[in-house]
């Protein structure tokens, strides 16, 4: 090699690499969090970020060379650094909020979340280092130092039962990763798989733990609705994926079998399981819950109208394709119509009845997953129809067998509501910038991402180096989110920033920069990072 090839690239060239800039933004978020939150796990979190940065380069090379064990989503980097930081930072932010409220139980729970996220990240790093040839010595040393620090600190901070809980989640993560990545090739990047499978593994572990200790189960029944429904629906998908390996799924016999098994699983497993946890019949509880007030009935009627409007948009776009070119695809602006509809759905729910929005979003997630099963397995009579309707809205991120864009949109809007630390908010709301935590999905995805895409694709001219995103789109995104915050301050009495305007502006700006440079699913990543920044 020549001397010029051995010299490191100058900073100006490095900043044209979107992966490098994305990493810098993530490091900025990590340091911002630790300016506020500093405890015995902070050094481990920073060390984990440094080793994830080096491991990410190894994962990227594996993906480019085709050396990865599973097939991951093409045309995207591994996203290891941005994904590795989500769960540990989330745990640290939750711990800080629980310490402020004096809730010792959830403070310990938050520590478990932090350590679990670190262990899952280290496991993913070990996979990359184990299958890289030749073995990267420097990266192995850095990962070893970070791993030793995490293990030593875990021993000093967690009890034996908490360590066992972390190992249980890791075990579930390993087996669930093997199943999902085998059944769903090209659907995820390694980073997206870490967030999705890691979150599902944690939910499964918590659900099993609470189901085995029914005497200690207490709290709002709404909190048990998500884990039971999600685990039951995913279990149904795994069962059908295995069964349809041995039988044809497009016949009427298979359709009858599918709907019968869905009813049996729902009424025979999910309903009794939920009944044990909430100590009431779920259907009766749900009827009482929905008819509790007139406001809930008005919101439900309003949401039904919006659902009908979304269906009209889908049918209209398919009619245009039928009457025009068969290669017609929905434009970016058309796809963002659904973002606006979702914003119009979530904002009234956040302002007037968050519990109803929580239950409705979980129900919608279960419906989306069931419809995706029908489409994927081509279950009669709707399977082929759904394939024709939804293929119009595909983009480069839907390169696998599943269409996940609409599910990611729902998750992005709902995760801040599901993750809201209710037990650490005695009055039902949090002070300062944390009052905007439930709106993190609306701000990052519903407003920010929508405005950035529309203005960037129609008016943007100056592109961020190395990306297709424009500076005009990012600037208008930040401005639109600031306007949205001002509207929430006016109409939602629970939001009171207490002079934390600079922090809110900085958080929105950092997440908008991440949106400009990340190649991961922004509907999933952006709300989580904004949630973390606002929560602290």
For helices 190-212 and 104-131, the axis angle rounded to 10 degrees is: 140
User: What confidence score (pLDDT) does residue 10 get?
Assistant: 59
**Per the structure block, which two tokens stand in for 442?**
């609306």
Given a cut of 90, whether residue 6 has pLDDT beyond it is no
User: What confidence score (pLDDT) does residue 432 get?
Assistant: 78
User: What confidence score (pLDDT) does residue 5 get?
Assistant: 45
Q: How far apart are the C-alpha atoms of 25 and 82, rounded to whole Å? A: 9
Could you tell me the residue ranges of all domains in the chain? 17-207
The DSSP 8-state label assigned to residue 10 in this structure reads P
Count of Cβ atoms closer than 10 Å to residue 40 Cβ: 10
Model pLDDT for residues 153-195, shown as the tens digit of each residue: 888 888 888 899 999 999 999 999 888 888 888 888 899 999 9
Q: CB of 435 within 8 A of CB of 429?
A: yes
Q: CB of 225 within 8 A of CB of 358?
A: yes
Given a cut of 80, whether residue 256 has pLDDT beyond it is yes
Q: How far apart are the C-alpha atoms of 364 and 35, rounded to whole Å? A: 38
Count of Cβ atoms closer than 10 Å to residue 75 Cβ: 9
Report the pLDDT averaged over residues 369-397.
82
Pick from 95, 187, 120, 32: which is nearest to 524 by CA? 187
Query: Greater confidence, 386 or 113?
Result: 113
For helices 522-535 and 501-517, the axis angle rounded to 10 degrees is: 160
Residue with tokens 């990359």: 128
Instruction: Tell me the pTM.
Output: 0.92
Q: Give the chain's length.
A: 536
User: What confidence score (pLDDT) does residue 4 get?
Assistant: 45
**Per the structure block, which two tokens stand in for 293?**
């007030």
Query: Greater confidence, 425 or 293?
Result: 293
Strand partners for 463: 470
- Give percent helix, percent strand, percent coil of the chain, each to the nearest 5: 75, 0, 25
Given a cut of 60, whether residue 133 has pLDDT beyond it is yes
Query: Greater confidence, 422 or 50?
Result: 50
Q: Which string of DSSP letters, residue by residue, matches 432-463? A: GGGGGGGGHHIIIIIIIIHHHHHHHHHT--SB
The 3-state secondary structure of 310-330, one letter per residue: HHHHHHHHHHHHHHCCCCCCC
pLDDT band at 324 (very low <50, low <70, confident <90, very high): low
Pick from 503, 489, 509: which is nearest to 535 by CA? 503
Summary mean pLDDT of the chain: 85
Pick from 383, 435, 334: which is nearest to 97 by CA? 435
Residue 343 exposure: Cα atoms within 13 Å on the Cβ side: 19
User: What confidence score (pLDDT) does residue 363 get?
Assistant: 92
For helices 137-157 and 42-65, the axis angle rounded to 10 degrees is: 140
The DSSP 8-state label assigned to residue 214 in this structure reads G
Q: How far apart are the C-alpha atoms of 126 and 175, rounded to whole Å? A: 16
The DSSP 8-state label assigned to residue 403 in this structure reads -
């Amino acid at each position: 090699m020549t001397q010029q090839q051995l010299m490191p690239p100058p900073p100006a060239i490095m900043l044209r690499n979107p992966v490098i800039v994305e990493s810098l933004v993530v490091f900025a978020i990590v340091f911002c969090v630790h300016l506020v939150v500093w405890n015995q796990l902070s050094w481990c979190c920073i060390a984990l970020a440094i080793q994830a940065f080096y491991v990410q380069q190894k994962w990227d090379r594996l993906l480019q060379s085709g050396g990865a064990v599973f097939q991951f989503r093409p045309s995207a980097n591994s996203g290891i650094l941005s994904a590795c930081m989500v769960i540990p930072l989330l745990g640290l932010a939750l711990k800080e909020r629980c310490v402020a409220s004096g809730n010792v139980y959830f403070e310990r729970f938050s520590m478990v979340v932090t350590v679990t996220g670190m262990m899952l990240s280290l496991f993913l790093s070990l996979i990359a280092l184990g299958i890289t040839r030749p073995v990267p010595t420097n990266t192995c040393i850095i990962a070893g130092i970070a791993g030793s620090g995490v293990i030593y600190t875990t021993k000093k901070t967690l009890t034996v039962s908490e360590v066992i809980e972390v190992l249980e989640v890791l075990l579930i993560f390993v087996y669930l990763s093997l199943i999902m990545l085998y059944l769903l090739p090209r659907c995820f990047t390694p980073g997206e798989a870490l967030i999705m499978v890691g979150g599902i593994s944690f939910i499964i572990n918590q659900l099993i733990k609470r189901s085995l200790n029914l005497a200690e189960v207490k709290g709002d029944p709404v909190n048990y609705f998500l884990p039971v429904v999600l685990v039951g629906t995913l279990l149904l998908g795994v069962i059908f994926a295995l069964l349809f390996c041995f039988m044809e799924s497009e016949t009427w016999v298979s359709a009858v079998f599918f709907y019968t098994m869905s009813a049996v699983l729902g009424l025979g497993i999910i309903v009794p399981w939920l009944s044990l946890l909430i100590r009431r019949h779920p259907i009766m509880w749900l009827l009482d819950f929905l008819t509790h007030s007139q406001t809930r009935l008005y919101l439900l009627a309003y949401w039904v109208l919006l659902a009908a409007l979304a269906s009209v948009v889908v049918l209209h776009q398919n009619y245009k394709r039928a009457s025009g070119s068969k290669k017609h695809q929905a434009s970016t602006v058309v796809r963002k119509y659904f973002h606006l509809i979702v914003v119009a759905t979530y904002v009234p729910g956040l302002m007037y009845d968050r519990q109803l929005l929580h239950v409705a979003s979980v129900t919608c997630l279960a419906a989306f997953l069931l419809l995706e099963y029908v489409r994927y397995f081509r279950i009669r009579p709707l399977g082929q129809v759904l394939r024709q309707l939804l293929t119009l809205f595909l983009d480069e991120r839907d390169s696998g067998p599943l269409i996940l864009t609409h599910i990611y949109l729902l998750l992005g809007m709902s995760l801040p509501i599901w993750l809201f630390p209710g037990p650490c908010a005695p009055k039902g709301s949090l002070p300062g910038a944390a009052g905007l935590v439930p709106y993190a999905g609306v701000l990052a995805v519903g407003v920010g991402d929508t405005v950035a895409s529309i203005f960037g694709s129609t008016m943007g001219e100056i592109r961020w180096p190395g990306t297709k995103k424009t500076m005009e789109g990012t600037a208008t995104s930040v401005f639109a989110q600031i306007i949205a915050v001002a509207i929430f301050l006016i109409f939602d009495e629970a939001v009171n920033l207490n002079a934390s305007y600079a922090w809110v502006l900085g958080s929105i700006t950092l997440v908008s920069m991440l949106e400009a440079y990340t190649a991961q699913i922004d509907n999933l990543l952006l709300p989580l990072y904004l949630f973390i920044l606002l929560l602290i």
